[in-house]
Structure 1
Amino acid sequence: MTNHYYRDFLIRNWQERDRIPAAEVIRSVLSEYGLGWEPNGADKDVLQVEEYYLATGGEFWVIEYQNQLVGTGAYYPIKRSEKAVEIRKMYLLSSVRGFGLGKYLLQQLEAAIASRGFLSIWIETASVLAEAVKLYESNGYMPATGVETTRCDRVYVKSLMTNFY
């Protein structure tokens, strides 16, 4: 990914120096919604971005505002279906929500995923993350089954094949 700007927000590739700030953004948003930070479980990938994302053909992006990390978004290939990815770690601090950044980030992730030839996108989330649920449902993600992450109770899928007709 080359750097993207959305208003005053810089969306760029993760770098090693982002490890702790990115983890802190995610931990903060989870705690805001009463969800636990799981460094040895569901959040292990944030601390091991090289292994989970970069080495598998995925990407991990961070969002900066005035040189501070304010959000994250990532995806990596999965085996749920042929040429599938899972969007993960899409978190924005409360101070930067409501500006359309989440929708823009989702669209940029989808464009990157489609450009790499993937055919479907999976997302797991929790019902308490109401804004996220609304974002996914209003952008063509369909409810599915097979939640794999303990703190999540919803899974969605979106087919990219319709974009090629």
Structure 2
Amino acid sequence: MREFYQDFLIRNWEVGDRTRAAAVISYVLSEYGLGWEPNGADRDVLQVEDFYLAVGGEFWVIEHQSQIVGTGAYYPVNRGQKAVEIRKMYLLSSVRGLGLGKYLLQQLEAAIASRGFQQIWIETASVLVEAVKLYESNGYQPATGTETARCDRVYVKSIINS
């Protein structure tokens, strides 16, 4: 993946991004009063190779002026039919409200569909108001069965492969 949105570069994660990507996610979580869990819910950010790349998922970073300002990722899950879960979709507050989140979500969905997956799951927390609004306005339906302790909402969307 190497895509531009305005003057933002969305690209594949590289080993050298590990610390900076983790810092972005940790910062956004703290902004909403949620904890960084390196041994739990956020272990995947520190082990991208195992959690994403080795299982057929992808992890992207968003750069602006050579700084990482956001992340987005997905990996296959045993839930529903030919399903993936979108994870780690975070943007620093300085780049929210520019349409970047919606564009990132659309790019993730396109990549997922192109790989033949049929269902997308997302877990989030109600305090992440912008995220909840984004998912609900883009066709994600409320579901049940949160698997991540800090999340209290689950969404699912079926995608049609053309």
TM bin (shorter chain): over 0.9
- Tell me what 1:16 maps to: 15
- Tell me what 1:67 maps to: 66
- Tell me what 2:140 maps to: 141
Partners of 1:72 and 1:18 lie apart in 2 by 10
Aligned AA for 1:4? E
Partners of 1:126 and 1:9 lie apart in 2 by 26
Q: Are 2:54 and 1:55 equivalent residues in the alignment? A: yes
1:1-165 matches, cutoff 5 A: 1=1, 3-161=2-160, 164=162
Aligned-CA RMSD value: 0.6
TM-score (norm 2): 0.99
- Give the superposition deviation at 1:81: 1.3
Residue aligned with 2:130, SS = helix
Partners of 2:7 and 2:33 lie apart in 1 by 29
TM-score (norm 1): 0.97
Per-residue Cα deviation, 1:80-120 (whole angstroms, up to 9, x for no partner): 11210000000000000010000000000000000000000
Per-residue Cα deviation, 1:11-30 (whole angstroms, up to 9, x for no partner): 00000000000000000000
Aligned AA for 2:112? I
Flag as ranges the 4+ runs of structure 1 deviating above 4 A: none
Partners of 2:9 and 2:106 lie apart in 1 by 15
Aligned AA for 1:143? P
Partners of 1:116 and 1:81 lie apart in 2 by 16
Partners of 1:95 and 1:134 lie apart in 2 by 18
Aligned AA for 1:46? V
Residue aligned with 1:106, SS = helix
How many percent of aligned residue pairs carry the same amino acid? 80
